[in-house]
Amino acid sequence: MSLQPSWDRRDEGAQMDRSQRIEMRQQQSHLEKQNGPPPSDDAMRALCVVEEKTSISFAYFDELTGTLILETSACFGFDTGEVIDSFKNSVETPNLILVSTRIADNGPLLEIIVRASSTSSNATASASGLPPPGTSSTESLDESDMIPYKVLKTSNFDLGVCQQLITTKLHVKEQSRDQEAARVSSNAVSFPTHFDEKANSTAAGSYRIVMGQERSFHSLATLIDFNSSSEVRAVGGLMSYLQSTLFRLTENNIVTINRVTNSPPSSYLRVTPLALRALHIFNEEQHPLIAKGTGGTKEGFSLYSLLNRCSSKLGSRCMRQWMLRPLTSVQSIKLRQSGIELLMMVELGSIVQQLSIFFSKISDIPNIMTRMQKCQTVPVDFVSLKNSVDAAIQVHGIINGDVKRAGGRTSEAFISHITNLINPRCLIEISRRIEATIDLEMTKQTKEICINDGFSADLDNAKMRFDELDDVLSRVGVTVAQRARQLGQLQVIFLPQVGFLVCVQKATAPSSFVPPNDFEFTFEEAECMYFKSTEMFVLDDQEGDLDALIKDTESFLAAELEEDIIEYDLSLRNTFRGLSELDCILSLSIAAAELNFCKPEVVDDERVILIENGRSPLQEIVTEHKYIPNDTAVTAEHPIAMITGSNYSGKSCYMNQVGVILFLAQIGSYVPATKAKVGIADKILVRITSVETCSLPQSTFQIDLSQMGSILRQATNKSLVLIDEFGKGTSPASGIALLAAAIEQLSITRCRTMCTTHLLELFSLGILKQDRGGINLFKMGVHIPEDKDEDAGNAVPLFKLEKGVASSSDGLVCAKMAGLRPDVLGRSEELLDAIKAGKSVSRLDSVSHTVQDEGTISLLTEFLENEAWASASEEDIHSFIKMVEGAVLVGGG
């Protein structure tokens, strides 16, 4: 499934109108005129912000240090202000903000971005993306609180333009020095660095330009995530501004910086999109129903679909948010764990079922509130809001009653967290006002606003007069008919927006009739003519347009109700955010009970992953036989686990299961194991899957290198690194050298690392050894029959982790299990034996082929010598067929 842009989803209704935006921009212009541009001795600190769907990217350049700082975070509307403030607090305050016209037109988002500092009074409101109640966007800012900002053209953020700008105009000195040092130290063949003037000059020809861009892309891919369109746009937008200011006088407008880094660790575990895909956290696939339209998607088989047992749409959305932003706070993780533990209590089984029923009645309240703010409310919204509020009141009562009594003091913090978000007075008041104002049953049936009888005397009087209108029309119709007999059959009708009319049937009227003098022709249809008479004008004055009056009155009363509800906007959003969290906790508790998960011990001061009988939750479901669990012991003394083994032996599955268990532990979930102790990680970095695409000018091995380079630059001593068969895309010697060097670098960083490989020479040559640099050597056990006469296809992978190094990859055994032809397998064994013995490789057996060739030649000769096959007898044809069958048997023998 795909989510809508977070700020568009919540804040279009609260956006400033044109006059307010003009006023804010005038304030900005006045500020620039008053203070002038930043003084020449004040180094530029420019921040470019790009918001795209559920992510927001920052590109920050500090002129003083020549550093480019990048960050991409998930955001969901209610927490976007927190994400923006978190990044701005992690760097020196920028003195210039760069935004697109899309952000500039979104008043609340622009306000948070350009705000120099958040005040305590506005912090809560800003977190919701809305100005404080009773103020406009501009009222909550004064000039001293605004960071100067500049709106860039939309073309500056075009993805293709930005990518080309980065690859052709960005020069990173630190990386160029590293590349030069590597060439000098290795005496390697000289290739241009990513910054190559000759490759970028027109005189060098288009071929060298393309090659220079590709080399630039390969090297910069370790610094910038080209798979993140928002990050590429943020860097490109920043560079376009720097080209026109700081670097406008440089040759070819080259933007030269010292280094590229990521922002300091935040309060969330950083999981890259590649890691999310490799660990199967999400799996969006095309929806099979045509009714969903082209481009419709649904969630496929993934960890999210496995754990998402939420009964409400809000809960499902919250679950996705939790998985996109796992926690790094032990206290917050333990708070969620206590909620799961509470709801898994046996005595609360019936209560859990009741909660699920009430959660299923909760609608998407944030979207309803947004529609109210945008004056786009549909009548059913009041019904949905009333049902949701009533369900929320019931849930609050259950949590404060039976659940609180069952949990005791151990779950007191979790219950307080949820109940502090829920405002029962607000819920009761909104429920009372909706019930008093709206006729919910009629509104649901007619899909139009229906106000309760007795709520408004004027509305009731108008409805009563409208109900009596038939009698009035009949009485007046008799009067008009008596004085206009020449018109034949007529009737008095009422048309909304037109009023009262005399309707004359053409079929019954004389062919040439003269209407009374006071009859004023209005319009005609195929069968009728319509007139205004004196009586009609009197009715218009006396009764008026009752239908419009009723609808206008109902709309006015509904609008008043909307305004009353909007006063509780923040309380409602917080209430249903708390309920969505509770729905998530309930979902995780149900999944933990069904899937036999355990509560992990999460620690912050130990870099460990200790797991007993760990399992892969997805693989466990699809496997035909019982899943074989495995233990894991990654410690500060031995942070690196090198895993070898045959193909099909479960190496990659085991490594993924460790990553998934750590991931689950940090979203606050229980984990698939009998016991687990996990140290908090700040990042999950992977080199697992290589997704090839024509949009990126990289081969498979270049993609692998970019991923590994990114890992080596970003990994810290608290990171978890997962590497699956790196180095297989090049020659064995180069692959061994690259993997060994990378592992040695990671051993210096002391990050927790799990690496699978088939490059057994790493160990046979003594390049990597047990205990050296904190390395542990493991293998996946496989039972292979020693008797070669036995059917090697019966070899059984044990799927069990053991100490040591595998003796071989057993590729031929796996090939036979995969069903390769016997002649191919036989030839493979011959070649393998020859290579192991150091003998020359012989050609294929020539005897059998010679016999078969002779038979074939004989048949062809016989066929070609007889020119009369077209008129051959049936006996001749059967004789030739027998010769063919005999030749085939000889060849096959």
Across 159-175, average pLDDT:
90
Bridge partners, 490 (sequence order): 504
Residues 543 and 583 in one domain: no
Residue 682 has pLDDT above 90, yes or no: yes
Residue 290 lies in a domain: no
Among 292-301, 545-554, 824-833, 883-892, the least confident range: 883-892
Distance CA 415, CA 169 (A): 55
Residues 14 and 80 in one domain: yes
Residues 533 and 624 in one domain: no
Distance CA 122, CA 145 (A): 13
- What's phi and psi for 184, nearest 5 deg? -65, -40
Report pLDDT for 323: 93
Across 135-162, average pLDDT:
75
Among 91-100, 453-462, 473-482, the least confident range: 473-482
Inter-residue contact 392 to 426 (CB < 8 Å): no
Residue among 708, 614, 709 nearest 175 (CA) = 709
Any idea what the Cα angle at residue 54 is, between residues 679 and 66, rounded to 5°?
75
Residue among 277, 328, 281 nearest 707 (CA) = 277
Which SS3 state, helix, strand or coil, does residue 667 take? coil
Report pLDDT for 824: 84
Residues 468 and 415 in one domain: no
Q: How many domains does the chain have?
A: 5
Distance CA 691, CA 699 (A): 10
Which of the two residues, 476 and 683, has the higher pLDDT score? 683
Residue 310 lies in a domain: no
Backbone dihedral region for residue 646 (phi beyond 0: left; psi -120 to 50: alpha; all else: beta) = beta
Distance CA 55, CA 71 (A): 10
Inter-residue contact 334 to 602 (CB < 8 Å): yes
pLDDT tens digits, 374-390: 888 999 999 999 999 99
User: Residue 292 corresponds to which tokens in the numbers above?
Assistant: 């969903």
Report pLDDT for 720: 97
Residues 466 and 547 in one domain: yes
Among 76-90, 402-416, 616-630, 632-646, the least confident range: 76-90
Among 261-270, 712-721, 852-861, the least confident range: 852-861
Inter-residue contact 74 to 5 (CB < 8 Å): no
Distance CA 585, CA 593 (A): 12
Bridge partners, 854 (sequence order): none
Helices 365-373 & 546-566, crossing angle to 10 degrees? 120
Residue 296 lies in a domain: no
Residues 631 and 744 in one domain: yes
Report pLDDT for 785: 67
Which of the two residues, 592 and 816, has the higher pLDDT score? 592
Residues 47 and 189 in one domain: yes
Residues 581 and 687 in one domain: no
Report pLDDT for 219: 79
Distance CA 70, CA 56 (A): 11
Confidence bin at 813 (pLDDT 50/70/90): confident
Confidence bin at 466 (pLDDT 50/70/90): confident
Residue 98 lies in a domain: yes
> According to DSSP H, which parts of 43-155 are helical?
80-90, 101-104, 107-114, 120-127
Residues 691 and 745 in one domain: yes
Residue 189 has pLDDT above 90, yes or no: no
Residue 237 has pLDDT above 80, yes or no: yes
Residues 339 and 469 in one domain: no
Report pLDDT for 204: 43
Output the domain CATH number for residue 668. 3.40.50.300
Residue 835 lies in a domain: no
Which of the two residues, 9 and 739, has the higher pLDDT score? 739
Q: In this prediction, what percent of the chain has a pLDDT beyond 70?
A: 79
Report pLDDT for 788: 52
Q: How many other CB atoms are there within 10 angstroms of residue 579's CB atom?
A: 28
Confidence bin at 251 (pLDDT 50/70/90): confident
Output the domain CATH number for residue 483. 1.10.1420.10
- What's phi and psi for 497, nearest 5 deg? 75, -15
Confidence bin at 887 (pLDDT 50/70/90): low
Report pLDDT for 228: 86
Among 384-393, 611-620, 852-861, the least confident range: 852-861
Residue among 779, 712, 798 nearest 178 (CA) = 712
> According to DSSP H, which parts of 261-329 are helical?
273-278, 303-307, 313-324
Which SS3 state, helix, strand or coil, does residue 777 take? strand
pLDDT tens digits, 78-87: 678 878 888 8
Across 86-114, average pLDDT:
88
Among 185-189, 427-431, 466-470, the least confident range: 185-189
Residue 119 has pLDDT above 50, yes or no: no
Choose the most confident range, by mean pLDDT, from 31-35, 111-115, 662-666: 662-666
Q: What letter does residue 325 receive in the DSSP assignment? A: S
Confidence bin at 738 (pLDDT 50/70/90): very high
pLDDT tens digits, 471-515: 888 888 888 887 887 777 788 888 888 888 988 888 777 777 778
Confidence bin at 696 (pLDDT 50/70/90): low
Residue 671 lies in a domain: yes
Q: What is the mean pLDDT of the chain?
A: 82
Residues 557 and 610 in one domain: no
Inter-residue contact 670 to 598 (CB < 8 Å): yes
Any idea what the Cα angle at residue 82 is, between residues 76 and 83, rounded to 5°?
70
Any idea what the Cα angle at residue 138 is, between residues 135 and 142, rounded to 5°?
110
Distance CA 600, CA 341 (A): 11
Annotate 153-222 with DSSP letters as a single string.
PGGGG-HHHHHHHHHHHEEEHHHHHHHHHHHHHHTPPP---S--HHHHSGGG-HHHHHHHHHHHHHHHTT
Among 494-503, 606-615, 717-726, 787-796, the least confident range: 787-796
Any idea what the Cα angle at residue 296 is, between residues 72 and 692, rounded to 5°?
55
Inter-residue contact 86 to 34 (CB < 8 Å): no
Neighbouring residues of 19: CB distance < 8 A, sequence distance ≥ 6 = none
- At which of 759, 785, 809 does a domain end? 809
Across 815-825, average pLDDT:
79
pLDDT tens digits, 208-226: 444 455 567 777 888 888 8
Residue 283 lies in a domain: no
- At which of 809, 838, 854 does a domain end? 809
Query: Position 768: which residue type?
Result: L
Q: How many other CB atoms are there within 10 angstroms of residue 336's CB atom?
A: 21
Residue 775 lies in a domain: yes
Residues 632 and 701 in one domain: yes
Residue 580 has pLDDT above 50, yes or no: yes
pLDDT tens digits, 39-49: 444 688 999 99
Among 427-436, 692-701, 813-822, the least confident range: 692-701
Any idea what the Cα angle at residue 317 is, between residues 404 and 47, rounded to 5°?
115
Q: Structural domain of residue 340, as residue ranges?
A: 328-453+574-595
Confidence bin at 856 (pLDDT 50/70/90): low
Across 465-473, average pLDDT:
83
